[in-house]
Amino acid sequence: MQLVTNENAHELQAKLCDRAHDHVGFDTECHGPRFNDSSARKPRLNAYRSQITGFSVAFLDGSSYYVPIAHVGENVDKDTWLALLDSLLSRPGTIWVHNVKFELQVLQLLGYTLMELIQTRFRCTQ
C-alpha cells in the first residue's frame, strides 16, 4: 500500500481517471465514540459522531493507496483529498466496499447527499 502525500497525489488521481480500472475497492478509517451495545460481539463505531481520519483505494492490478486526512503525522491537504474523493465517486466503474451503510453515513458527514451517493456504483462485499 502506498501512502499518498500532497506531492504524489497526482498518481492516484491519474489511476482514478484511467478507465482501465473499472472496479476499485474503497474503505474509510474513522475515529470516534462507540455504541455501548452489550449484545454485540464488539463495540460498533457510531458513524454519525465519528471523524474520518483517512481512506484507502485498491485496484485490481494489486496497487492500493491510503490517503491520510487527520493523523498525527503528515496529512494530505483538504483540497487535494476532496478532489481525490470526488474523482473516486464520479468515476464510471464499480466501487466495492465492505460495510456500505457505514461508508454512506461517513460520506454524508463530509457533505455528500444520499442521492449523490446512491447514483455512485457502490457494491457491498461480505
pLDDT digits (tens, 9 = 90+) for 5-37: 999 999 999 998 887 778 899 999 988 777 666
Q: Is 87 helix (H, G, I), strand (E, B) or coil?
A: helix
Model confidence at 110, pLDDT cuts 50, 70, 90, reads confident
How far is C-alpha 81 from the geometric centre of its chain's CA atoms? 10
| DSSP H or E run through 107 | helix 100-109
Residue where the block lists cell 460498533: 44
8 Å CB contact between 4 and 67: yes
C-alpha cell at 39: 449484545
What is the structure's pLDDT at 126? 54
Inter-axis angle of helices 78-90 and 9-17, to 10 degrees?
10
